[in-house]
């Protein structure tokens, strides 16, 4: 049996792409293996948003070269954000790679795998959708980004924004639901920008109203928002639609206007805070998540403190934080020297993370004793786990005593908390309906 391995780093978009590519491989008759060094076909789905992710990919390519030297019949492909419009330079650096593909460009990789098994992918692959998707799954709705934030390489690698039609996404949701999916996360680099390029134009709210009508679907999420594009109509849709979860990821990146301007984010600190107020006035129980960069070009100690002040003021449920690293090819790499020393960036990051850990701890402690609907989506360390509508990770204490299962809902009373997760006791579990596709996993 010809085997494949897909190695994935980076954002949810990459994870969604890898799931779709895997479906293509399965349709070609390949089977998955955990070991990239022994697979007949290896794909690295890469990310270059941070230097560390790029280093991991180049390190693995070195190891795979040795495996290929031993067995030249192995095939290696690299896809994702490491691959720009021109791959000549990459081909010179990594001659062991047989195929290069930009994000969402599945065809060269499937062609390569098709040659290995002697099957022409044209005509034998139906849709690129996971045959056995996770109960909570990702669905890309808009590709690319038009924003060109000065620190970000994504628009150069993923190209301009292209939205998928509403009807296509509704059909895809129906298909996913027929395969056991109960929650979809609508994905875009800037998901709030969805639909402006469609004819006739639509927006994310229209799409959420349409997907909310899909029978059998229980939850809808969306990622990642941009403060300048999150309209009142979108916020009201989140507040009104029963299936859309009260959970919004709204990156602010920096708390100081001068830094925001150098980042080309397109809003000021006050505009960001007003947007948060608007969201909270329309969706009172919303859980807010954000992304922050510390140590961007020229960021002073005082400017960094402004970022900490926003964390204290807003009290986010979760913060994705990172120290700035220069990405060659970006506007910042050309125009804004990387002036903050690495050690200072690390110190700022540690201080920010410590503050946020305290805030998360206080927020989660306040949830003890409350009861939530949890969609059980996996297991870890001998316990079932799931998510609340606000995307809190919950580990279940007594799941073995009730009809609890992956893919089912349970009512859970919170008995313990940490800054990063909750523990809870199942008080009631959804009974499997006749004909339900049960997923049985050893605990």
Stretch that binds ligand SF4, among 141-149, 201-209, 339-347, 386-394 (CB under 6 A): 141-149
Stretch that binds ligand SF4, among 114-122, 146-154, 199-207, 209-217 (CB under 6 A): 146-154
* Among 145, 204, 283, 314, contact with ligand SF4 (rule: CB under 6 A): 145
User: Rounded to whole angstroms, what are the CA distances from 298 to 95, 262, 305?
Assistant: 39, 9, 14
Nearer to ligand SF4, 188 or 386 (CB): 188
Stretch that binds ligand SF4, among 149-157, 272-280, 317-325, 354-362 (CB under 6 A): 149-157
Q: How far is the CB of 171 from ligand SF4 (least distance, A)?
A: 27
Nearer to ligand SF4, 148 or 441 (CB): 148
Does 147 contact ligand SF4 by CB under 6 A?
Answer: yes
Q: Which tokens hold the place of 350? A: 């540690």
Stretch that binds ligand SF4, among 151-159, 175-183, 302-310, 411-419 (CB under 6 A): 151-159
Nearer to ligand SF4, 68 or 147 (CB): 147
Does 12 contact ligand SF4 by CB under 6 A?
Answer: no
Q: Residue holding tokens 């060109």?
A: 148
Stretch that binds ligand SF4, among 88-96, 140-148, 373-381, 405-413 (CB under 6 A): 140-148
At 47, give phi and psi (nearest 5°).
Answer: -140, 140
Give dist(CA 225, CA 234) in Å, integer: 10
- The residues, any chain, with a CB within 8 Å of residue 298's CB and separated by 6 or more, are 259, 262, 336, 337, 339, 340
Does 189 contact ligand SF4 by CB under 6 A?
Answer: yes
Does 16 contact ligand SF4 by CB under 6 A?
Answer: no
Q: Quick one: which of 192, 187, 190 has its CA closest to 138?
A: 187
Q: Which tokens hold the place of 332? A: 């910042």
Question: Which parts of 322-381 interact with ligand SF4 (CB under 6 A)?
Answer: none
Cβ–Cβ < 8 Å for 21, 131: no
Does 410 contact ligand SF4 by CB under 6 A?
Answer: no
Nearer to ligand SF4, 134 or 147 (CB): 147
* Among 28, 97, 142, 149, contact with ligand SF4 (rule: CB under 6 A): 149
Count residues contacting ligand SF4 (CB under 6 A)?
Answer: 10
Does 148 contact ligand SF4 by CB under 6 A?
Answer: yes
Give dist(CA 48, CA 66) in Å, integer: 24
Quickly list DSSP for 79-132: EETT--S--HHHHHH-TT--EEE-TT--HHHHHHHHHHHT--STTT------SS
* Among 21, 99, 152, 207, contact with ligand SF4 (rule: CB under 6 A): 152
Q: Is the peptide bond before 175 cis (omega within 30 degrees of 0)?
A: no
Cβ–Cβ < 8 Å for 100, 91: yes
- Interface mask toward ligand SF4 for 31-60; x: CB under 6 A: ------------------------------
- Interface mask toward ligand SF4 for 89-128; x: CB under 6 A: ----------------------------------------
Q: Which tokens hold the place of 327? A: 């990405």
Question: How many helices (H) and strands (E) are present in the chain, helices listed first?
Answer: 13, 17
* Among 190, 249, 297, 399, contact with ligand SF4 (rule: CB under 6 A): 190
Nearer to ligand SF4, 145 or 426 (CB): 145
Give dist(CA 97, CA 250) in Å, integer: 37
As to burial, measured by CB atoms within 10 angstroms (0-12 exposed, 13-18 middle, 19+ buried), residue 407 is buried
Cβ–Cβ < 8 Å for 183, 225: no
Stretch that binds ligand SF4, among 2-10, 116-124, 152-160, 162-170 (CB under 6 A): 152-160
Stretch that binds ligand SF4, among 86-94, 148-156, 213-221, 424-432 (CB under 6 A): 148-156
Nearer to ligand SF4, 28 or 349 (CB): 349
What secondary structure letter does DSSP report for 193?
G
* Among 36, 155, 227, 424, contact with ligand SF4 (rule: CB under 6 A): 155
User: Rounded to whole angstroms, what are the CA distances from 117 to 36, 345, 360, 374, 423?
Assistant: 18, 49, 50, 42, 47
Stretch that binds ligand SF4, among 33-41, 56-64, 143-151, 385-393 (CB under 6 A): 143-151
Q: How far is the CB of 341 from ligand SF4 (least distance, A)?
A: 24
Does 226 contact ligand SF4 by CB under 6 A?
Answer: yes
Q: In what order do the strands lie in the sheet with 136-143?
A: 162-163, 136-143, 183-188, 219-223
Q: Quick one: which of 371, 377, 419, 423 has its CA closest to 396?
A: 423
Per CB under 6 A, residues contacting ligand SF4 are 145, 147-149, 152, 154-155, 189-190, 226
């Amino acid at each position: 049996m010809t085997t494949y391995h897909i190695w994935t780093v980076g954002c949810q978009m990459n994870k969604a792409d890898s799931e779709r590519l895997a479906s293509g491989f399965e349709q070609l008759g390949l089977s998955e293996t955990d070991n990239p060094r022994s697979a007949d076909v290896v794909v690295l789905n890469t990310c270059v948003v941070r230097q560390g992710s790029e280093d991991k990919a180049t390190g693995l390519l070195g190891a795979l070269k040795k495996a290929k030297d031993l067995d030249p019949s192995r095939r290696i492909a690299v896809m994702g954000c490491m691959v720009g419009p021109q791959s000549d330079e990459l081909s010179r650096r990594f001659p062991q790679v047989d195929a290069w593909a930009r994000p969402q460009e599945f065809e060269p990789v499937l062609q390569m795998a098709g040659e290995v098994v002697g099957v022409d992918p044209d005509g034998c692959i139906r849709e690129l959708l996971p045959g056995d998707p996770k109960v909570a799954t990702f669905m890309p709705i808009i590709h690319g980004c038009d924003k060109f934030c000065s620190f970000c390489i994504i628009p150069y690698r993923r190209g301009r924004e292209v939205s998928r039609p509403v009807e296509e996404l509704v059909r895809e949701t129906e298909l996913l639901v027929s395969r056991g999916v109960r929650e979809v996360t609508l994905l875009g680099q800037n998901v709030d920008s969805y639909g402006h390029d469609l004819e006739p134009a639509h927006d994310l709210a229209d799409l959420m109203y349409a997907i909310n009508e899909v029978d059998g679907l229980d939850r809808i999420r969306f990622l990642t928002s941009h403060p300048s594009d999150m309209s009142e109509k979108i916020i009201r849709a989140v507040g009104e639609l029963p299936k859309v979860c009260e959970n919004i990821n709204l990156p602010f990146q920096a708390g100081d206007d001068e830094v925001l301007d150098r980042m080309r984010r397109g809003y000021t600190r006050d505009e960001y805070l007003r947007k948060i107020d608007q969201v909270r006035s329309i969706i009172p129980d919303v859980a807010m998540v954000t992304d922050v960069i510390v140590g961007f070009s020229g960021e002073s100690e005082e400017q960094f403190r402004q970022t900490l002040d926003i964390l204290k003021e807003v009290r986010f449920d979760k913060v994705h934080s990172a120290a700035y690293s220069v990405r060659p090819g970006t506007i910042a790499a050309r125009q804004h020297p990387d002036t903050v020393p690495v050690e200072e960036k690390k110190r700022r990051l540690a201080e920010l993370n410590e503050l946020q850990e305290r805030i998360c701890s206080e927020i989660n402690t306040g949830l003890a004793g409350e009861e939530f609907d949890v969609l059980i989506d996996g297991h870890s360390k001998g316990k079932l786990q799931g998510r609340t509508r606000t995307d809190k990770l919950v580990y279940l204490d007594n799941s073995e005593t009730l009809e609890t299962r992956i893919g089912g809902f349970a009512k859970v009373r919170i008995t313990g908390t940490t800054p990063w997760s909750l523990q809870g006791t199942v008080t009631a579990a959804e009974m499997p309906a006749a004909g339900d596709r049960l997923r049985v996993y050893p605990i």
